[in-house]
């Protein structure tokens, strides 16, 4: 079974630039998550999709972050404009259904200069 | 009070001994409990899930849940150097509820 695919693995940008991350979940997984993980902390949920609908985006900084999951499969997360504090690893995860165990992709390490 | 509390460590355990990792949570409605292992520079991987009070064993791992005390633990028997990682506790209040991750306990197995 193919795992969760994410790209790119690494990204370096300057503050105020924009960046986008892509995620393809495990086939058949209805629920998709985007997390932000800052060094030394646990993953923080940014947004959770069930198929192509948003279940929870309460911790998504909507003035600069946006995410979509068209057709209920793959998803993109965008940051525009980036701030220094956005430097983190962005993890995508998927699960069969809500509150089921999640499977994580390898993540995208974002550095803001 | 944090929603999920874990001792950040590092917890240093000699090889071959039992490592005990603890987690408390604030949401009494939590129904599902997951333990994830995260190696440095890697993404979290699920190692145990537990849904009812008591113990659940899987190989060298045992998860223990006490909902009345809002406490869940992970025991690792015969600790190996490959067990050195950060262990994340993640309870969920059930369907349509998000999984909340603790900050993790860093475990170091010393030879």
Q: Is the CB of residue B72 less than 8 Å from the CB of residue B23?
A: yes
Q: What pLDDT, on a 0 to 100 scale, did the predictor assign at position A71?
A: 85
Of A41, A42, A99, the CB nearest to B97: A99
Is the model's pLDDT at B86 over the cut of 80? yes
Size of interface A-B (CB pairs under 8 A): 52
Contact B31, B14 (CB under 8 A): no
Query: Rounded distance, CA B36 to CA B88, Å?
Result: 5
Say if A25 is an interface residue toward chain B (CB within 8 Å): no
Query: What would the 3-class secondary structure string for chain B be?
Result: CCCEECCCCCEEEECCCCEEEEEEECCCCCCEEEEEEECCCCCCEEEEEECCCEEEEECCEEEEEECCCCEEEEEECCCCHHHCEEEEEEEECCCCCCECCCCCEEEEEEC
Among A55, A97, A104, the residue with its CB nearest the CB of B44 is: A104
Q: Does A42 touch chain B (CB under 8 A)?
A: yes
Residue B95's pLDDT band (cuts 50, 70, 90) = low
Q: Distance from A26 to chain B by nearest Cα, in Å?
A: 14
User: Does residue B93 surpass a pLDDT of 80?
Assistant: no
Measured between CB atoms, which of B31, B45, B49 is closest to A104? Answer: B45
Tens digits of residue pLDDT in B33-56: 999 999 999 999 999 999 999 999
Q: Which pLDDT band holds residue A32 (cuts at 50, 70, 90)?
A: very high
pLDDT, residue A100, reads 83
Residue B94, pLDDT > 70, answer: no
pLDDT at B1 (0 to 100):
64
Choice among A33-37, A100-104, B60-64 with the minimum mean pLDDT: A100-104
pLDDT of residue A1 exceeding 90, the answer is no
Strand ordering across the sheet containing B19-25 = B4-5, B19-25, B71-76, B61-66, B54-58
B57-62 contacts, C-beta under 8 A, 24 or more apart: B61/B35
The residue written with tokens 């860093």 in the block is: B106
Identify the closest residue of chain B to A56 by CA–CA distance: B98
**Mean pLDDT across chain A:** 94
Chain mean position to CA B98: 17
pLDDT of residue A33: 95
In this prediction, residue B48 carries a pLDDT of: 95
Contact A45 B98 (CB under 8 A): yes
Give the mean pLDDT of B51-68: 96
**B97 contact A CB<8A:** yes
What is the predicted pLDDT for the residue at A52? 87
Residue B70 in contact with partner chain A when CB distance is under 8 A: no
Looking at per-residue pLDDT, the higher value among B44 and A2 belongs to B44
Whether residues A99 and B92 touch (CB distance < 8 A) is answered with yes
Please check the confidence at residue A6 and state whether its pLDDT lies above 90: yes
Q: What is the pLDDT of residues A52-98, one digit of tens each?
A: 899 999 999 999 999 999 888 999 999 999 999 999 999 999 999 88
């Amino acid at each position: 079974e193919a795992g969760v695919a994410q790209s790119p693995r690494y990204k370096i940008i300057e503050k105020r630039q924009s960046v986008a991350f892509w995620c393809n979940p495990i086939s058949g997984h209805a629920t998709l998550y985007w997390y932000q993980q800052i060094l030394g902390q646990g993953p923080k949920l940014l947004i959770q999709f069930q198929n192509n609908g948003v279940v929870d985006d309460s911790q998504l900084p909507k003035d600069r972050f946006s995410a979509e999951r068209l057709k209920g499969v793959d998803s993109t997360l965008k940051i525009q404009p980036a701030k220094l504090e956005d430097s983190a690893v962005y993890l995508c995860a998927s699960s069969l259904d809500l509150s089921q165990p999640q499977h994580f992709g390898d993540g995208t390490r974002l550095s803001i200069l | 009070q944090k929603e999920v509390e874990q001792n950040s460590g590092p917890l240093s355990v000699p090889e071959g001994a039992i490592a005990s990792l603890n987690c408390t949570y604030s949401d009494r409605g939590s129904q599902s409990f997951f333990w994830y292992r995260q190696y440095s520079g890697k993404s979290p991987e699920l190692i145990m899930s537990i849904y009812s009070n008591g113990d659940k064993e899987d190989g060298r791992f045992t998860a223990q849940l006490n909902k009345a005390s809002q406490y869940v633990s992970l025991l690792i028997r015969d600790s190996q150097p490959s067990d050195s990682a950060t262990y994340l506790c993640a309870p969920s209040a059930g369907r349509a509820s998000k999984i909340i991750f603790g900050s993790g306990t860093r475990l170091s197995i010393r030879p």
